[in-house]
C-alpha cells in the first residue's frame, strides 16, 4: 500500500441510528475500492466488520471497527460505529479522533433519537458531515421526506447533491445534481451502471434541486457569491469548491443517496467524500496541556512536528492480549520505538505498528500525522491516554465517558468461579469503559452496570466465550438507609461481675436527627471528668459500629448527631470495652424510641425523547413517584429532568425504549436520600422480613 501525505488522508466515521445500514455501506465501500473481493452482507453473516459472534447473532454492530482503503489517490481510514442506544458510548469515544463523518439515514425510518444524539456530538467535537440516505430500494422509502426530517429534527440545512431515479421497487439509480447526469444501475452487486441524460419525468425536480445546490454553494464562499450574483451560474469546479467550503464550515449538509446492499450510489459517495471532507491539515492545530507546566500546548498536523497521539479504543483478547488503537495528531512514530505516556507519566516500548483491517491487522513501518493505527501489549496504556515525545510532553483532553444507566447483580453459575468472573470482567471493562464492575460492600453483591440490558447481556456472553466463566443476572438490591425523626435522650449502664475484675460503664446520650446528607456527628459534652477522657473515643466507636445496622431492617443509619453529656465510671472495673458496649447499647435503645424511618436513594435523570412521547413519559414518571424538575426543548425533541426513586427505575432502559419506539435516551446518577412514604413503609418492611426468613 502506498504511503500517503497527510493532506491526502481522510479519517472518516460512519455514524447513524441502528439499522440505517452503516456496516453495509462500509462493506460496499471496501468492495468498490478493491479491499475485498466480494460484497459482504450483514444478514448472511459474511460481513468483514461485524465478525464478533454476538454481532452475527444479533445482526447489529456492538463495538466500533476500523478499516482503510484508497480512492482517487487518497487514503481513507474508516471507523464503523454502533448505532443502537446500548452501544453509543463506543461511538462517542471514537468521535474524538474523527476528521469527518458520513451520517447514514434510512429512507424508510427517517431521523430517530439516536441520530439526534449523534448530531449533537458531531457539533460538540466539530466534525464536518455529509449525509447518505440509504435503503432507497426498500418499501416505503422516501428521499424528500428524509431531507425534511433532517431539517425538522436536526435543525440543519440539508442540500441534495444527488437524487433517486424512482423509489422502493421502482428505484433504478441516481441523478448527479452537479454534472446533471443520470446513472442507471444493473443491480448486479458490482455497482455496474450506464450513465446518460436525465429521464424527462425527473428533469423538473432535478432542475429545482440543482438550483438549491448552486445557491447553497455560492452562499458558502464570498467569491462564489459575487460571481453568482453577476452571472447567475457556477461551473462544476466552482460548485465543488463551494460544496467543500459548506462542509468545512457547516453552513449546509450535502446529502447523497443510494442503496448500500445493492451497491448503488457508493462510488459517487466516495468521490464526494474525497472532495469535501477535511484532511488532518484542514482540521488544523490540536491543543492540549503541558503536564509539567499546566500551560496550553499546541501541535500542528505535520509529520516533522513532535509526535503526539490519543488512544481512543482498547481491544482485549485472552489469546492475543491487549490492542490499543490511537490517532496520530502530529509527528511520526516508528515500530520498535519508545514513546511517553503523558497521562500515566511512564515510558512505553512500542512493538510492531499495525494498520487495522476489520478483524485483521497489517504491519506497517511507521505512522504519520493523521494516521489511525494500533499497538499490541502496551503495559500501562488505557483508553483516553496521550502518547507523545518525552522531550515535548502534551496531554490531550479525553472525551467524558457516558455513565451506566442499568445495573445487575452477578451470581456465579458454578461455585468457586468468583475470581475468574472478576478477572474476566475487569479485562472487559478495559475494553469498554462504559461497563462498570464493583463489589458492593454493603449488600455483598458483585454488581455490573452498563448502558442497557443488551449491553450487559453481551458482556456476559463475552465473559463466557472469552474467559469460560458463566453468571446469572439478578436485580440488584436497593441500598436503603435508616434514619429517625425525633430527638431522644437515653442512658445505659453496663455492669458485669463474674469473679475477678468486672466491667462497668455508664453513659447518657442525646440523639438528634440532622438534615439529609449531613452524615454522622459525635459531640463530647462531658464536664468534670464523669467519663474519663481516655474512654470517650470508645463510646464513639461503639456507636459507629452499631450504626451500620439499624433497628427497622438492618440498613445503615445516617444523618444524626450523638451528644455524650453525662455518665459515670468505676476506678477499677471501667475499660474501653465496657464504654464501647455502653455506647452501642445506649444508641440502639435511643434509636428504637426516636421514630425510625427508612430512606430510599433518589436518582437524578435526564430523558431525551421525541416531542410526541412527552405525555407518555411524564405520565409514566408520575406513576413511578417521580418529580419532574423541568423541560428543555431541542430540535424535534424534549429533555425532561426528573428525580425518581431508584427502586422504581431499576429496569427503566427497556421500558423507555418501549414507550418511545426505541427513540428515547436517558442518563441517571445518584442524587440524595429521601424518606420512604408512610403508606409504603409497612409493605417494604414486610418484604424485608420475608427475605430474612
275 and 299 inside one domain: no
Residue 57 lies in a domain: yes
Condensed to tens digits (0 to 9), the pLDDT of residues 645-673 reads 999 998 888 888 889 877 787 888 889 99
- Is there a domain that residue 397 lies in? no
C-alpha grid cell for residue 368? 504519520
* Same domain membership, residue 491 and residue 470: no
User: Rounded to an integer, what distance in angstroms lies between the CA atom of residue 523 and that of residue 563?
Assistant: 5
Q: Half-sphere exposure of residue 118, counting CA atoms within 13 Å on the CB side?
A: 33
Q: Which residue range is the domain that position 605 belongs to?
A: 601-692
CA-to-CA distance for 185 and 34, rounded, in angstroms? 19
> What is the pTM (predicted TM-score) of this model?
0.80
Instruction: Indicate whether 172 belongs to any domain.
Output: yes
**Is 398 domain-assigned?**
no
Indicate if 589 and 606 belong to the same structural domain: no
Domain boundary (448, 474, 500) is at: 474
Averaged pLDDT for residues 619-631 = 95
DSSP string, 192-246: -EEEEPPPHHHHHHHHHHHHHHHHHHHHT-HHHHHHHHHHS---HHHHHHHHHHH
- pLDDT over 80 (residue 675): yes
Read off the pLDDT band of 15 (50, 70, 90).
very high
Report whether pLDDT(1) > 60: no
Same domain, yes or no, for 487 and 469? no
Bridge-based pairing of strands 520-524 and 560-568 is parallel
pLDDT surpasses 70 at 692:
no
Structural domain includes residue 402: no
Least confident of 1-10, 324-333, 541-550, 570-579: 1-10
Query: Are the CB atoms for 516 and 625 separated by under 8 Å?
Result: no
- Asked if the structure places residue 535 within a domain, the reply is yes
Does one domain contain both 225 and 366?
no
Mean pLDDT of 18-36: 94
Question: Does the pLDDT at position 2 exceed 60?
Answer: no
31 pLDDT above the threshold of 50: yes
Instruction: For residue 36, give the DSSP letter.
Output: S
Q: Within a domain: residue 403?
A: no
For 282-312, give one letter per residue: b (16+ CB within 10 A) or e: bbeebebbebeeeeebebbbbbebbbbbbbb
Q: Evaluate the CA torsion angle 642, 646, 648, 654 in order and state its sign.
A: positive
* Average pLDDT for the chain: 91
Residues 541 and 492 in one domain: yes
396 inside domain:
no
Provide the domain count of the chain: 5
**CATH number of the domain within which 90 lies:** 3.40.50.300
In this predicted structure, what is the pLDDT of residue 319? Answer: 67
Predicted pLDDT of residue 399: 79
pLDDT tens, position by position, 187-205: 888 889 999 999 999 999 9
CATH of residue 681: 3.30.70.240
Residues 261, 120 share a domain: yes
Query: What is the spatial distance between Cα 156 and Cα 247, in angstroms, rounded to a whole number?
Result: 12
| Percent of the chain topping pLDDT 90 | 67
Separation between Cα atoms, residue 235 and residue 181, nearest integer Å = 15
- Does one domain contain both 470 and 492? no
The CATH number linked to 438 is: 3.30.70.870
Amino acid at each position: 500500500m502506498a504511503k500517503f501525505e497527510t493532506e491526502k488522508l481522510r479519517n472518516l466515521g460512519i455514524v447513524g441510528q441502528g439499522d440505517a445500514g452503516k456496516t453495509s455501506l462500509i462493506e460496499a465501500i471496501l468492495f468498490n475500492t478493491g479491499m475485498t473481493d466480494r460484497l459482504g452482507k450483514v444478514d448472511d453473516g459474511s460481513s468483514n466488520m461485524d465478525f464478533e459472534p454476538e454481532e452475527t447473532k444479533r445482526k447489529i454492530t456492538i463495538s466500533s471497527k476500523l478499516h482503510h482503503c484508497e480512492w482517487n489517490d487518497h487514503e481513507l481510514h474508516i471507523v464503523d460505529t454502533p448505532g443502537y442506544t446500548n452501544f453509543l458510548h463506543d461511538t462517542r469515544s471514537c468521535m474524538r479522533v474523527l476528521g469527518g463523518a458520513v451520517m447514514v439515514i434510512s429512507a424508510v425510518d427517517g431521523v430517530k433519537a439516536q441520530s439526534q444524539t449523534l448530531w449533537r456530538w458531531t457539533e460538540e467535537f466539530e466534525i464536518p458531515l455529509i449525509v447518505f440516505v440509504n435503503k432507497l430500494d426498500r418499501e416505503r422509502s422516501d428521499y424528500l421526506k428524509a431531507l425534511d426530517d433532517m431539517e425538522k429534527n436536526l435543525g440543519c440545512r440539508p442540500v441534495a447533491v444527488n437524487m433517486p431515479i424512482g423509489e422502493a421497487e421502482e428505484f433504478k439509480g441516481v441523478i448527479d445534481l452537479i454534472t446533471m447526469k443520470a446513472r442507471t444501475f444493473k443491480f448486479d452487486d458490482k455497482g455496474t451502471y450506464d450513465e446518460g441524460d436525465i429521464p424527462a419525468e425527473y428533469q423538473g425536480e432535478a432542475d429545482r434541486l440543482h438550483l438549491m445546490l448552486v445557491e447553497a454553494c455560492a452562499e458558502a464562499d464570498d467569491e462564489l457569491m459575487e460571481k453568482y450574483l453577476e452571472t447567475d451560474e457556477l461551473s462544476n469546479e466552482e460548485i465543488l469548491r463551494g460544496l467543500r467550503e459548506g462542509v468545512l464550515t457547516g453552513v449546509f449538509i450535502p446529502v447523497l443517496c443510494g442503496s448500500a446492499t445493492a451497491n448503488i450510489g457508493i462510488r459517487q459517495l466516495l468521490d464526494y467524500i474525497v472532495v469535501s471532507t477535511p484532511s488532518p491539515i484542514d482540521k488544523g492545530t490540536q491543543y492540549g496541556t503541558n503536564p509539567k507546566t499546566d500551560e496550553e500546548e499546541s501541535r500542528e498536523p505535520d509529520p516533522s512536528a513532535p509526535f503526539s497521539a490519543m488512544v481512543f479504543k482498547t481491544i482485549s483478547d485472552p489469546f492475543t492480549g491487549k490492542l490499543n488503537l490511537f490517532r496520530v495528531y502530529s509527528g511520526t512514530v516508528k515500530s520498535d520505538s519508545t514513546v511517553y505516556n503523558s497521562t500515566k507519566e511512564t515510558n512505553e516500548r512500542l512493538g510492531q505498528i499495525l494498520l487495522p483491517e476489520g478483524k485483521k491487522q497489517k504491519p506497517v513501518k511507521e505512522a504519520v500525522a493523521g494516521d489511525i493505527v494500533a499497538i499490541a501489549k502496551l503495559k500501562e496504556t488505557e483508553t483516553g491516554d496521550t502518547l507523545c515525545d518525552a522531550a515535548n510532553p502534551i496531554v490531550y483532553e479525553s472525551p467524558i465517558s457516558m455513565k451506566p444507566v442499568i445495573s445487575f447483580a452477578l451470581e456465579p453459575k458454578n461455585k468457586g468461579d468468583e475470581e475468574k468472573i472478576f478477572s474476566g470482567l475487569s479485562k472487559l471493562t478495559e475494553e469498554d469503559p462504559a461497563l462498570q464492575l464493583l463489589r458492593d460492600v454493603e449488600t455483598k453483591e458483585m454488581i455490573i452496570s452498563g448502558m442497557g440490558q443488551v449491553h450487559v447481556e453481551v458482556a456476559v456472553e463475552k465473559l463466557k466465550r472469552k474467559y469460560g466463566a458463566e453468571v446469572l443476572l439478578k436485580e440488584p438490591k436497593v441500598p436503603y438507609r435508616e434514619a429517625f425523626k425525633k430527638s431522644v435522650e437515653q442512658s445505659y449502664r453496663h455492669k458485669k461481675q463474674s469473679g475477678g475484675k468486672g466491667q462497668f460503664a455508664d453513659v447518657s446520650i442525646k440523639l438528634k436527627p440532622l438534615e439529609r446528607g449531613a452524615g454522622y456527628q459525635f459531640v463530647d459534652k462531658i464536664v468534670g471528668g464523669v467519663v474519663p477522657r481516655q474512654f470517650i473515643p470508645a463510646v464513639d466507636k461503639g456507636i459507629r459500629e452499631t450504626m451500620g445496622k439499624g433497628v427497622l431492617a438492618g440498613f445503615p443509619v445516617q444523618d444524626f448527631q450523638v451528644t455524650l453529656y453525662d455518665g459515670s465510671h468505676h476506678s477499677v472495673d471501667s475499660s474501653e470495652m465496657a464504654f464501647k458496649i455502653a455506647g452501642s447499647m445506649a444508641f440502639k435503645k435511643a434509636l428504637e424510641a426516636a421514630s425510625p424511618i427508612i430512606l430510599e436513594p433518589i436518582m437524578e435523570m435526564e430523558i431525551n425523547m421525541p416531542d410526541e412521547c412527552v405525555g407518555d413519559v411524564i405520565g409514566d414518571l408520575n406513576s413511578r413517584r417521580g418529580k419532574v424538575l423541568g423541560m428543555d426543548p431541542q430540535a424535534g425533541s424534549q429533555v425532561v429532568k426528573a428525580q425518581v426513586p431508584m427502586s422504581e427505575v431499576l429496569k427503566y432502559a427497556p421500558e423507555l425504549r418501549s414507550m418511545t419506539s426505541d427513540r428515547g435516551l436517558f442518563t441517571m446518577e445518584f442524587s440524595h436520600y429521601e424518606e420512604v412514604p408512610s403508606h409504603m413503609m409497612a409493605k417494604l418492611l414486610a418484604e424485608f422480613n420475608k427475605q430474612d426468613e
